[in-house]
Every structure is written in C-alpha cells, then in structure tokens.
Amino acid sequence: MSLSPKHPISFALDERVARVTINRPHKCNAMDAATWRALAAIAGSLSARGARALQISGAGEDFSAGADLDELRALLPRPSEQLANAQLVQQVLKLLENQALPSVALVRGACVDSGLGLALCCDMRLAAPDARFAFTSVRLGLHSSLADTRRLAGVIGLARAREMLLTARTIDAETALDWGLVNRVVEPSDDLQAAGDELTRDWARTLPSGLAATRRVMAALDGSRPLSEEILDRQFLEAFSGDDFRAGAKAELEQCEPDTADACKEDQDNGT
C-alpha cells in the first residue's frame, strides 16, 4: 500500500517491512503539524498491518530539516497554537519510540532538530556519507526537550550531547559514526536503501519475541520505559518456557527458518 504522492508521509509494506517515508522533498522534508499527524496515524497501525520491522527515511536528498519554517512563521503571533504544535511533536516521538517494531532510520542529507529527534527514536541509524546532524534550538532561545536530550545523551554520552546542544554544532557522517550517533556510514550513498532492506528483512524473519524483549531491556536501561530488575529477570526466565523459544531452538537445530506466523501476536497486543 502507498499513499498519494501529495501525502506528507508515504507508506509501503514489503515482506513484512514497513517503509515510512517523509514525503516533502520540496521543503527538505521539514515537518509541519499535518506531517506529524500523518506519521502518528501510520505508526499507530503498524502491527495491525502485519509489519515486523520499520524503516524511516526521507524522500529526495534529505532525511528531515526539522520544523517547517513557514508554519513556524505563521504560528509566532499565536503562542497557544505554537505550544500545541510542540506538544504534538513530542507525543508523536514518544509513540514512535514505544511502538512495537525494531526500527532503523536511513539518513541522507539534513537530519536536524525534530528530524534528528525522529531518528533518535529508532533503534538504529544508517547514514549516507553526506548526512549531517544538529540540534539548533539554542539559536532560537529554546532548548531541547528532556526526552530528546535523554535520547541523545543515551546514544553519544553526556559530554558530547552537551557539545551538540550548547553549541548547535552540525556534525558530519564520519563524526556521527565516531561518536556513536549512527551505527554505520554506507558508501556509496546509493547503497543506503539496500543496507536498510537487508537489516529490516533480517528482523522480519526473526522470531519477534526475542527482539521485543531485547528492546524492553534496552528501554529500561536508557530510562525511556523503566521496569524493575525483578520484572526483567522474570521475563528473561519465562522466555525459556515460551513457544517462540521452542520454535527457534527447533529451527536452529534443524537448520531451517522458524514459523513466525503468530509469534508476535502477544507482544503486539501488549504494545511491546
């Protein structure tokens, strides 16, 4: 399924991989309120559509340049609407961070402000050599949200997060790789989509309960979804008596792919 080219977000499902694309290349994929709402609508329905993994990318030469400046200009004299817009962005980012599927951002060109916030909500980030990253809120007399700051610091550490946030410095792809902001720089840039496809198709073929549980543990460690050590230890031990473990172990011993037809139903129903 794909949405109209005029729709700000396009969606396709291929081999259980959801491909979500910010579709505003004429504005470097800057995101207005309508784009965030469209993204929320799709993110909230991914499991119901049968997706097992998620890619997020931008159409054209950029991932996302952040806020739509035309909308920002229009909202300046209307502070209550500006506040509502900021709240919307944070709500959608939280939705994406907490959605059930393993996810990767495929980044080329600009990945700035709320665009970088979006990429940080993904489990992994692959970058083209021309990718560039920045949080520039301080130039507007603002600061990044607690959630954005937590995500950034959790990925690159407090010292480097301070540097990015306090200087509004733009870093290139190689620096992002060195700092741990991206997992890989893909060269040539034309191979970025293929690298994302390889990763997400592997996720889609993997028994999803292990992926979901791993993401729960990581979310507890980074503070995005706190769970007690007791609960996490219990879930770890309970997995050994689960259907997915039996299916996965049998497939490994017999050197075949496990049947995952119903394996993620419980995790999806629980939103994990």
Closest residue by Cα to residue 238 from 210, 264, 263:
210
Closest residue by Cα to residue 260 from 240, 239, 241, 246:
246
Q: Which whole number is the average pLDDT over 16-37?
A: 97
Q: What is the pLDDT of residues 111-123, one digit of tens each?
A: 999 999 999 999 9
Residue 229: per-residue pLDDT: 84
Residue 272: per-residue pLDDT: 42
Has residue 252 got a pLDDT over 80?
no
3 state DSSP class of 196: helix
What mean pLDDT value characterizes the chain? 89
**Residue 120 contacts by C-beta under 8 Å, 6 or more apart in sequence?**
148, 151, 152, 155
176 or 220, higher pLDDT? 176
Give the pLDDT band of residue 258 (cuts 50, 70, 90): low
Q: Which whole number is the average pLDDT over 228-243?
A: 82
Range list of H helices, the chain: 33-43, 69-75, 79-98, 114-120, 146-156, 158-167, 173-179, 192-205, 208-222, 229-238, 243-254, 265-269
In contact, 29 and 60? CB cutoff 8 Å? yes
Residue 259: per-residue pLDDT: 57
pTM above 0.75, yes or no: yes
Has residue 231 got a pLDDT over 50?
yes
Fold assignment, 9-203: 2-enoyl-CoA Hydratase; Chain A, domain 1 (3.90.226)
The β-bridge relationship of strands 103-107 and 17-22 is unpaired
Residue 38 C-beta-side C-alpha neighbours within 13 Å: 18
The C-alpha atoms of residue 215 and residue 86 are separated, in whole angstroms, by: 27
Residue 209: per-residue pLDDT: 84
